[in-house]
Amino acid sequence: MLCLLLFLVLVQGVAAEAPCTFVKMWGSYDGGSGTTSNGIATDASDKVYVAETGNNRILVFSSDGSILSRWNLNWTEPGQLDVASPYGIAVDSSHNVYITDRENNTVQKYTPRGFVTTWGNEGTGEGQFSSPAGVAVDPSGNVYVADTGNNRIQKFHSTGTFLMAWGSYGTPDGSFNAPMDVTVDSSGHVYIADTGNKRIQKFSPDGTFLAKWGSEGTGEGQFSTPTGIAVDSKGNVYVADLTSRVQEFNPAGEFLTTCDTGATTNDVAVDPSGTIYALWQSGPHWKIGKYGTRDPTSPSASAPGVHTTFSVFVEQTKPRVTPTTSLMTAPPTSPATIATPTMTPPTTTRVTIVSPTLSPTMDSDTKIAEPGEQPAEQGRKPEEQWNILDRVMAVLGKLVGRK
């Protein structure tokens, strides 16, 4: 019996989840004016994509932080709407990139060669949005969008054709309170960061409720403001919380471990090898924290603030270009904005600034989109659906006030 107990203890110890280990970080610097970023994604080649909201562009990095390309979204092609606020970002298995534009209430699709198509406008109907945030792609190429202001999830074909939607404002299973992100595992299960309800909800591909976990708080399995969510190849779920951490759960919602980031954490992504990338906002700058299994022989496998290098890049923002062809006209009113203001920098992190060479640029070849639909009459929104947005802004405002 003693041998059996010892065997069980050893097996349990082997199966236990190892804590994440800081590897390195890199991020932005633009001479002091600062900028924001809200979305991060990885592809099958371990490239890292960042939606830089403040500069209206997409940045592509290698897994070691070297910049590979930058896509200026202010430069429009025929049929493309000038992006006002890139927020969520996702990459499918064919390297197609999907971006939510929360101010224009659209989703835009790109390849590494350029713009492909766009869909959506402001409203509450099928294929319409109110401040869309997170976006994800399933193994079949279907696109899921966290329609934050409308308290629902919408599902589309990769071409933008509407497939289905589910959710409404509230706390019952399958209801949402300002959901801000979505992710899909290899089996098609859909996980939602139900931000206002301080929980995660899990659904089948057809929107059937399966499970939920989380409550308000700072303990294990609790959330303050869950704003980002990702899933790895094993089905484990990672949740970015504004309270400076990323929590990992198994597919059933059982807590596994925590990555403490040391700064306001907007989003999280996981590459095919299981490496975690947390998107921070620290003061006027965004940063990417890379985490993984520590290699004792690697000098970079240290905690944040210890022998850490903060790689940066400097670039002038190109002038905005007014598109000659617009897919929609501006609606008479705009939805409430979910902004990510400048955050308080952590007081324990000291960094060395390094400037790498910026040579790669985006391929200029593009594809032309088909004409999109015109905006429909916008319905009246219930005031209560914006309550959580106000609370999120209040939390962020308190953080800014500490500067």
Class of residue 108 by CB neighbours under 10 A (exposed 0-12, middle 13-18, buried 19+): buried
Is the pLDDT score of 205 beyond 50?
yes
Is the pLDDT score of 337 beyond 50?
no
Cα angle at 274 between 44 and 308, to 5 degrees?
A: 105
DSSP symbol at 169: B
The pLDDT assigned to 29 comes to 57
- DSSP codes, 29-61: --TTS-----EEEE-TT--EEEEEGGGTEEEEE
Task: Tell me the pLDDT band of 39, cut-offs 50, 70 and 90.
Answer: very high
Task: Tell me the pLDDT band of 284, cut-offs 50, 70 and 90.
Answer: confident
- Rounded to whole angstroms, the Cα distance separating 361 from 381 reads 42
The pLDDT assigned to 136 comes to 98
The pLDDT assigned to 114 comes to 84
Is the pLDDT score of 31 beyond 70?
no
Half-sphere exposure of 265 (CA within 13 A, CB side): 28
Tell me the Cα Rg of the chain.
21
Lowest-confidence pick of 101-105, 279-283, 300-304: 300-304
Task: Tell me the pLDDT band of 310, cut-offs 50, 70 and 90.
Answer: very low
Residue the block writes with tokens 């002091």: 32
Is the pLDDT score of 317 beyond 60?
no
For 276-305, what is the mean pLDDT? 68
At 249 the three-state DSSP class reads: strand
For 181-204, what is the mean pLDDT? 98
The pLDDT assigned to 283 comes to 77
- Rounded to whole angstroms, the Cα distance separating 129 from 135 reads 12
Is the pLDDT score of 45 beyond 80?
yes
Which one, of 354, 339, 329, 317, lies nearest residue 394 by Cα? 339
Is the pLDDT score of 270 beyond 70?
yes
The strand order across the sheet containing 106-111 reads: 86-91, 97-101, 106-111, 114-119
Is the pLDDT score of 335 beyond 80?
no
Question: Which region, left, alpha or beta, applies to residue 167 given φ > 0 means left and ψ of -120 to 50 means alpha?
Answer: left
Average of per-residue pLDDT values in the chain: 75
For 103-128, what is the mean pLDDT? 93
At 378 the three-state DSSP class reads: coil
DSSP symbol at 192: E
- Rounded to whole angstroms, the Cα distance separating 317 from 191 reads 35
314, 33 Cβ separation under 8 angstroms: no
Is the pLDDT score of 15 beyond 80?
no
For 314-338, what is the mean pLDDT? 33
What's phi and psi for 32, nearest 5 deg?
Answer: 115, -20
For 118-136, what is the mean pLDDT? 97
The pLDDT assigned to 143 comes to 98
Task: Tell me the pLDDT band of 377, cut-offs 50, 70 and 90.
Answer: very low
Which one, of 33, 5, 19, 100, lies nearest residue 317 by Cα? 33
Written as six digits, the tokens of 244 are 């400076």
Lowest-confidence pick of 8-12, 31-35, 138-142, 201-205: 8-12
Task: Tell me the pLDDT band of 262, cut-offs 50, 70 and 90.
Answer: confident
What are residue 115's DSSP bridge partners? Answer: 110
> For the chain, what percentages of helix, strand and coil (3-state, to nearest 5) are there?
10, 35, 55
For 157-161, what is the mean pLDDT? 97
